Structure 1
């Protein structure tokens, strides 16, 4: 349950920053703009995790839980299904905030030179 709540702690500030960065940008280009100043590896990891989450969601539709429970009596398949969503939201928050930091550093370097 901590992972559920923790998403809001990191994602709300990321949404605020993301809205400021993407102001006036067409919806289809928002992620391009938000990720533009981040290193290539950040973009590759982000899109890879997004694809993984979609594939995990699709496979979870077809694979019903087998009844195997973890010691805490939480269905293992449910935790696996949620884990990809947690990964996407936490990573999206990181990517948005990291890209903004890269953008600020680049702007600071340009003003110095």
Structure 2
């Protein structure tokens, strides 16, 4: 698993990216000018996501799950998502639904309007989802790390 400081960094990048992408999104929706530097949020997603991906990979390997079967991969994702607090699941679901609707509305509007605001609006909706997911799962992985440390042994997640 990545060192705890990388997971903490991923968490805070996720939180900061979520707030920044929300600000960019609101500006785009309201028609306010959005600085070009906002597109740097594309890069920040990777900084937030990579430690989380490696942490998930390590967690899966320690569980001993077979990654060759698609159904087992789905089961692994469901198992890890099961560790997410309920209110965060709801918030992620609402955010995902909003980003989907926002994208569809933006796509329909992009056919009639070629302004950059529509593009930024569509991108920023997705940025919010990616940053939120990375923050949530970084926090879950940090919680697993803390549970391992307090138990004095490596845990493999919830009993099945």
Q: Residue 16 of structure 1 corresponds to which residue in structure 2?
A: 54
1:61, distance to aligned residue in structure 2 (A)? 2.4
Of 66, 70, 73, the match for 2:113 = 66
1:67, distance to aligned residue in structure 2 (A)? 4.6
Of 69, 72, 85, the match for 1:39 = 85
1:76 aligns with 2:117: yes
CA RMSD of aligned residues (A): 2.2
Q: 1:35, 1:12 → 2: CA distance?
A: 18
Q: How many residues align?
A: 105
1:27 aligns with 2:60: no
Any stretches of 5+ residues in structure 1 without a counterpart? 69-74
Q: 2:55, 2:48 → 1: CA distance?
A: 11
TM-score, normalised relative to structure 1 = 0.76
Deviations 1:52-102 (A, max 9, x none): 22222222222225355xxxxxx1111110011111111121111111112
